[in-house]
Amino acid sequence: MSGTILVTGGAGFIGSNFVLRQRSCKNRIVNLDLLTYAGNLLNLQELNGDPDHVFVQGDIGDRALVRKLLEDYQPVAVVNFAAESHVDRSIESPESFIQTNIVGTFHLLEEALAYWKRLPAERGDRFRFLHVSTDEVYGSLGPADPAFTENTPYRPNSPYSASKAGSDHLVRAYYHTFGLPTIITNCSNNYGPRQFPEKLTPLMLLNALEGKPLPVYGDGLNIRDWLYVDDHCEALSLVWERGNPGETYNIGGCCEKANIEIVETICALLDEMAPESGYAPHGSLITYVKDRPGHDRRYAVDCSRIERELGWRAKESFESGLGKTIRWYIDNREWVESVKSGSYRDWMVRQYTGR
């Protein structure tokens, strides 16, 4: 399938990687992003001057703006990445998560529904509203529990995951009540280039390169499934093109790792790739800090449905994906410095000082 796609949140981590992939496939992108702290136009600098990448700074809750973009550009799909997405920030300030993730998604759905109803039958049949969500909506698993499937009940445990669960329910309701051809994806922990450095992987590798402490929550044994961002974007492309409206697809890397294992692997790779940093062995920088409230113990994702129905599975091993990630951050220091603003430094002090 080809055409124009309205991408929301397309200057963020996963969104920008998706935009770059779609432009390589010659799809025109209308990119709507509010450019909050995690959005960065440097993520898209290779598209500077590209007439088929239309960037608009704005809010998904601005219905007049969304309506105008839909009418002016006539997209074949809306792909919704726009979200507040960091658990720690949701604990500190839940309101913005409710406003963006639930209220914002509601406004976007309303405008997409009105637009879809006006489309001729053939174009209406092709239209898709793809909502990108998280495995965190399913809650926490015990050590021996089976992985999350698309039928696992929602049991969110943080303001972030609760807000994403709410948005998922709205998207589902707009399919079942109004017929809007929506699809939901629930992904596991992404890592890769262009990720804002509050998340585990970039935080640890950038701190290590600067000789700063590597703060690991609790005992470090909380387990996540890890997914390289390019693999995720390939899966999203397949879901948009061939997924069935009204359905949900779990996307994961089939790669369960404890947080401390992630940090130790980053340190070992940096010892090899950046011995000149002056801080090797980088593992000596690991510091255990007080756990965060409500920290889910384990996530695991069953991807058998998307593999069976759409033929997708992750290509990158954890080691190969992490090596590519580290190399990107080492080679893109301008990007790193651009995101490490005063507000980000203030956030890091508030988050980890005294733990």
State the pTM of this model: 0.93
| Local structure of 350: helix, strand or coil | helix
Q: What is the predicted pLDDT for the residue at 354? A: 53
Q: What pLDDT shows up at residue 91?
A: 72
Catalytic residue among 135, 198, 264, 302: 135
Tokens of 97: 């998560």
Q: Given 136, 168, 231, 316, which residue is catalytic?
A: 136
Residue 73 is a catalytic residue: no
Is 135 known to be catalytic? yes
Q: Where are the beta strands (DSSP E) in the chain?
A: 4-8, 28-33, 53-57, 77-80, 128-134, 182-187, 189-191, 214-217, 223-228, 248-251, 256-258, 286-289
d(CA 15, CA 7): 8
* pLDDT grade for 1, boundaries at 50, 70 and 90: low
Report the C-alpha gap between 220 and 289 in whole angstroms: 9
Among 97-111, 261-275, 276-290, 332-346, the range scoring the smallest mean pLDDT is 332-346
Q: Is 160 a catalytic residue?
A: yes
Mean pLDDT (whole number) for 40-47: 92
Enumerate the domain spans of the chain.
Answer: 4-196+225-254+298-312
- Please tell me which residue in 115, 138, 160, 191 is annotated as part of the active site: 160
Closest CA to 316 of 232, 202, 239, 222: 232
- Residue 37 has what pLDDT? 73
Mean pLDDT, residues 220-246: 97
User: Does the 4-196+225-254+298-312 domain belong in CATH 3.30.465.10?
Assistant: no
- How far apart (Å, rounded) are the C-alpha atoms in residues 66 and 9? 13
Q: How confident is the model at residue 196 (pLDDT cuts 50, 70, 90)?
A: confident
